[in-house]
Amino acid sequence: DAMVIQNPRYQVTQFGKPVTLSCSQTLNHNVMYWYQQKSSQAPKLLFHYYDKDFNNEADTPDNFQSRRPNTSFCFLDIRSPGLGDAAMYLCATSRDRSGGRPQHFGDGTRLSIL
């Protein structure tokens, strides 16, 4: 049974048109992460929520925002997508932020920009 679910699996949007990607989890984990992965590159952390506490990575563009309305759901909002934002977006969760606990990933949303 899928424990970290990302919708949609594929998303196409127009240049400059806002888009929202969603992630839900059934693990009741405290931490939720968003990664961006471009072709043949390592996943790059954008930000994470520890419970309701939002933590942005220093080099994440302002164009990227996130919301976590409750424990189960987390959203990635791209306000004005550019061609360079086409990528796979991965959501992950972990029980806590210490102890080397592995992160559990969803299957990702592949975003295309027209």
Partner 1 sequence: DQQVKQNSPSLSVQEGRISILNCDYTNSMFDYFLWYKKYPAEGPTFLISISSIKDKNEDGRFTVFLNKSAKHLSLHIVPSQPGDSAVYFCAALENNAGNMLTFGGGTRLMVKP
Under the binding rule (CB under 8 A), the answer on residue 3 touching partner 1 is no
- Residue 32: which of 94, 88, 76 has the closest Cα? 94
- Residue 86: which of 21, 31, 22 has the closest Cα? 21
CA distance 84 to 35: 15
Query: Which range binds partner 1 by CB under 8 A, 58-66, 68-76, 78-86, 95-103?
Result: 95-103
Under the binding rule (CB under 8 A), the answer on residue 4 touching partner 1 is yes
Query: Which range binds partner 1 by CB under 8 A, 14-22, 61-69, 73-81, 102-110?
Result: 102-110
- Exactly one of 55, 67, 82, 84 binds partner 1 (CB under 8 A); that residue is 55
